[in-house]
Amino acid sequence: MTKIKGVSGASLLVAAAIATQASADQWSDKFPHIKNTGDIAGECSYESMSKKDYSGQTLTINTHAVPVMGEPTALHAEQFAALTGAEVNVIHTPAGDLYSKAMVPFQAGQAPYDIVFGFSNFIRDWKQYLEPVPAKYVNMVQMKDVTQSHIDVNSWDGQMIQFPIDGDRHYLKYRKDVIDNPVYQEKYKAETGKELRVPQTWKEYAEMAAFFNGWDWDNDGELEYGSAEVMKKDDLMYAAFFSRSVAYSKNPRVKGGFFFDLETMEPLINGPGFVEALTDWVEATKYVPPGGINFGLGDEINSFGGGQTLFSFSWDDAFVAAMQDDSPIKNKVGAAPLPGSERVWNRVSGSWEDTYNQAPYIVWGWTAAVAKKSKNHEMAFDYLCFFANDANHQADIAIGRFGVNPFKKSDFKAELYVERQGWDPEIAKQYAETLMEMEEGSTNRVFPLRVPGVFQFNSAVATGTSKALAGQLSPQEALDEVAAEWKKIVKRIGPDTIREAYAIGVALEDAE
């Protein structure tokens, strides 16, 4: 646990008052983290926080382990303590235990933490223990800059429960220096008769990944491989599977549920679209690096970010890691939407539609919330607001290991990345456009499953798909097993209870 005790906020206020103008330089001198931007005016800016006085009060935060999200939590806690005089205790917890570490005291009626960090898909199970975000924060200018997708992700039935601090989505990352290389384009054409381009479908992805698998295509003396993916059981692999499934299974002409048929609450997870995706994924075990079937998220980031593979898809971190100054492949990578498919399953007609389909997966990501039983609601919300203020946010998204990614409209400007992070203008433009398109351009998005017992559903997917990847079961058998398990979970928790919660996510998808 990190204990951070601040100097009096009042003394800083006095200092600020003496310096007749609250300039950006004044705050960036004290807090070098925001040296690129200085303080940016707003409700929760450094200037505004310095006017608060929380001396003698203690804020306790449960967050993720360092560095991802844990490091920025601790850094902003230190800054918050210095500005307001509060004492801030930061407790770091491994990702797998974040849910239970908060849930156990929640269920016992205890409030050991004022703020809990977690994933946004915890919302249904956690919401009754969390304090909704007060209107004054929801309506502030800082919040108006948050994209609608991330307002939705952090809200339940129109009420904001979690505070937006991060943005997450799955998208394709590829080696631009290979895909755009005329020599390789010619070689690929000669050997396969096809164009080497940013893959538009998962089939193209597989063909290119297989072609570039197991040889030294970047002449660094090491073997390179086709794709790095999160395939390790129980290490967020189910999210990777859903990313591969959306193109085959999310039909924009069919409303009423992606994971379940909302009317009957029958699982759709073993439908032909999902089976096709899992078949592709099993095939992918042939073009991942040796041991790739055991890659967790960290391995995926290191593998693609370290220049080992042609492709990758998951959260932003692998891309940001690849574009950091110390990366061997800085300015050699590209971002694109997740590949699509040449056909999409129509569960109503019970047949494939032979038409191109693509669907962004707005996967869950980091978020934070204030415990209902906390006695420090105002201070806790001020901390979260300060965490996500414009100056902190812009500094945070430039540091890959922080795990803070774009979720504000102002983040999707290419010049931001060119000027502050030294990205190639073309790559920055492509990155910003890809993310923005997913946020606001698509009308066929899939939102994460957010229902009671979400972990039971996701755990069943992880077990079933990992059996298929390991060759223990065929894709159809594996997903039949998952569907059978899902039915049992629905029966245990109650179809109406699940339906009520699932309808909220379906409404977001169907409103498009």
User: One-letter amino acid identity for 324?
Assistant: Q
Whole-number minimum distance, CB 481 to other proteins, in Å? 10
The answer to whether 289 contacts other proteins (rule: CB under 8 A) is yes
Query: Closest Cα partner for 512 from 167, 148, 138, 243?
Result: 148
- Residue 244 contacts by C-beta under 8 Å, 6 or more apart in sequence? 202, 277, 278, 280, 281
DSSP SS3 for 77: helix
The stretch among 97-105, 168-176, 241-249, 265-273 that binds other proteins (CB under 8 A) is 97-105
DSSP SS3 for 131: strand
Between 219 and 238, how does the x/- string for binding to other proteins read (CB under 8 A)?
A: ------x------xxxx---
- Residue 117 contacts by C-beta under 8 Å, 6 or more apart in sequence? 61, 62, 63, 64, 69, 73, 98, 366, 367, 368
Residues 383 and 180 sit within 8 Å (Cβ to Cβ): no
The answer to whether 96 contacts other proteins (rule: CB under 8 A) is yes
Work out the number of other CB atoms within 10 angstroms of the CB of residue 58. 15
Work out the number of other CB atoms within 10 angstroms of the CB of residue 127. 19
Whole-number minimum distance, CB 349 to other proteins, in Å? 34
Between 3 and 42, how does the x/- string for binding to other proteins read (CB under 8 A)?
A: ----------------------------------------
Report residue 51 as tokens: 């006017």
Residue selected from 292, 340, 360, 448 as contacting other proteins according to rule CB under 8 A: 292
Whole-number minimum distance, CB 382 to other proteins, in Å? 30
Quote the CA–CA distance of 154 and 152 in Å, as a whole number.
5
Whole-number minimum distance, CB 477 to other proteins, in Å? 12
Whole-number minimum distance, CB 466 to other proteins, in Å? 5
239's enclosing H/E stretch is helix 237-249
Between 454 and 473, how does the x/- string for binding to other proteins read (CB under 8 A)?
A: -xx--x---x--xxxxxxxx
Cβ nearer to other proteins, comparing 352 with 455: 455
The answer to whether 213 contacts other proteins (rule: CB under 8 A) is no
User: What is the DSSP code string of 445-479?
Assistant: -BPPP-STTHHHHHHHHHHHHHHHHTTSS-HHHHH
The answer to whether 110 contacts other proteins (rule: CB under 8 A) is no
Whole-number minimum distance, CB 267 to other proteins, in Å? 17
The answer to whether 290 contacts other proteins (rule: CB under 8 A) is yes
Angstrom distances, CA of residue 306 to CA of 317, 318, 332, 484: 12, 9, 12, 40
Q: Strand 225-228 and strand 2-5: pairing?
A: unpaired
400-459 binders of other proteins (CB under 8 A)? 452-453, 455-456, 459
Cβ nearer to other proteins, comparing 33 with 232: 232
DSSP SS3 for 431: helix
Whole-number minimum distance, CB 419 to other proteins, in Å? 34
The stretch among 1-9, 147-155, 299-307, 334-342 that binds other proteins (CB under 8 A) is 299-307
Cβ nearer to other proteins, comparing 498 with 506: 498
Quote the CA–CA distance of 124 and 115 in Å, as a whole number.
17
Cβ nearer to other proteins, comparing 27 with 99: 99
Whole-number minimum distance, CB 239 to other proteins, in Å? 15
**Chain contacts with other proteins (rule: CB under 8 A):** 96-97, 99-100, 103, 107, 125, 225, 232-235, 289-294, 296, 299, 302-303, 308, 452-453, 455-456, 459, 463, 466-473, 488, 492-493, 497
